[in-house]
Chain A
Amino acid sequence: MAQPPAIEVRSLSKVFRVHERAPGLRAAVASLFRRTYKEVTAVDDLSLSIAPGERVGFLGPNGAGKTTTLKVLAGLIHPTSGHVRVAGHVPQRRETAFLESIALVMGQKQQLLWDLPPVETFALNRAIYDVPQDVFAQRLAELDDLLGLRAVSGKPTRQLSLGERMKCELAAALLHGPRVLFLDEPTIGLDVAMQLAVREFLRAYADRTGATLILTSHYMDDVVALCPRVVVIDKGRLRYDGDLRTLSRTVRPDKRIAMRLRADGPAPDRAAIERLGEVVELEATRAVIQVPQEGVRDAIAQLFASHDVADLTVEDPPLEEVMRELFASTGDARAASPGDGPRA
């Protein structure tokens, strides 16, 4: 018998009413007396189903409705219409059993008590979630294993670095053993090493506990490393739901062939290479070309025939580019993320 889904969303919509004010003194005075409102549809007829233990990445440009969706799933925002069930509960009812089975980590906000060491927050959460002492000790030991908390959790939070704080933040969110874990940009602002550590931790945690994991991130690497399945949301609408690889393949059915030539050999033959596919990069000893999937075999054969190849790799185009293309194709030229990767 199939397990009931961990998350079930049917036709979810959320409309906000926002107050609008033009700049300038006159508008400021005018808004004292009459305010104009406009309706903004943050989430528009969204449906999806996520099985227990799945790891899903929410992708989309800024303001696409990812965070709103996440907050609806966590029961923080009431939907305007539609049905939502998470771990068998209706989130907006905020039943104790529901709240005990989820956790939300927000990279830009923190729940740790600022003036006290993180251990105090842990103890507080233990009392709030009513976790038995022995379970609590065991979980803390496990988290310590994965995150190396012991060195930092005794210092007042305000003295911790951003990375250390994030580790403790994760621990505080996971001490009650949530079955569904929502992560809103958990690696934002962290350096590369720390991003890697957080990613590894999340994967190990999900493997160990079988928890369902929903992630939004601006760093495509987070998504690639953690989420086999992605959900693309743009302007509140579902654009894509499925396998990450399939997504790249549908949007960009091309492959990239990167070739390194022997330094002592002849220079690359530009005309010959251009005949094979679109040139992304061409230097004295290095060339990157983009070719349709079915042409990869022929292209490689010809490259080997015409050049003194030292090394050759075939890869998918970077996810940033895939996303850019996806959003551009609806007439929306916004990039997938503000600081995205190398341009072709």
Chain B
Amino acid sequence: MIQVSSLSFTYAGQTGPAIHDLEFAISPGEIFGFLGPSGAGKTTTQKILFKLLAGYSGSALIDGREVRDWDIDLYHRIGVSFELPNHYLKLTALENLNFFGAFYQQHYRNAVDLLAMVGLENAANQKVGAFSKGMKMRLNFIRALQHNPEILFLDEPTSGMDPANAHLIKDLIRQLQGEGKTIFITTHQMHDAQELCDRVAFLVDGRIRALDTPKSLQLAYSSRTVEVQFRDSDGVKTYALDGLGTNPEFLNDLHGREVVTIHSREASLDAVFMEVTGKSLV
């Protein structure tokens, strides 16, 4: 569905490329995440894919056609939710949706239903200028859905949202995947990526440093140990995960002491990111 190879881009007036030799492919129905700190090239890559930036080198294919060769028809196929809210502030939420929705040929989703989907039904007739950032971001999100596109580009989809609304948006993203949509997310929220993405790519300084499923990345960088906390002591005791079932010390402790917690030492995606890239996600 999306195929990128040797993709590089340099902004006018800049000496170095913003992205360098990117290679990745996104299959139909997949949620793919681009993770990286601010300025890593995540948004640049997306902007190339939805044709806001021209003059790239390498190849970027959507549905087998080079992005530069797509006409405005591309915008019937894709939906974009930007990193920052961009709405007519003097118009209401409903007026905004109806205005943008009027440009699509195909039957689009009902604006009132979309507003209800993200809990904005009571704010439908409120001017967007009076919205909080989280409300504006939810409006960004549903605007991307109103023509029922096959491919969704979501740039920091939960940015500025409280945990409950972020959870709602993540549920909706999973639901959209269930409907067969292909979703390309950029985020620096590791937790979101871990929860949502089938595969993630770590992007730092315009280069992909790792690309795999979140689970595989976590496992690859996990220490194969188990930590157990017992009632009769303050600290935790560590056992090797390999041969755990036959480890006499571990079995003896399990029988003789009361266990408070027991955890495998699986690395968080955050820790993996830092380990792979040497950078934190700020």
Q: Do A and B truly interact?
A: no
Residues of B bordering A, CB below 8 Å: none
Residues of A bordering B, CB below 8 Å: none
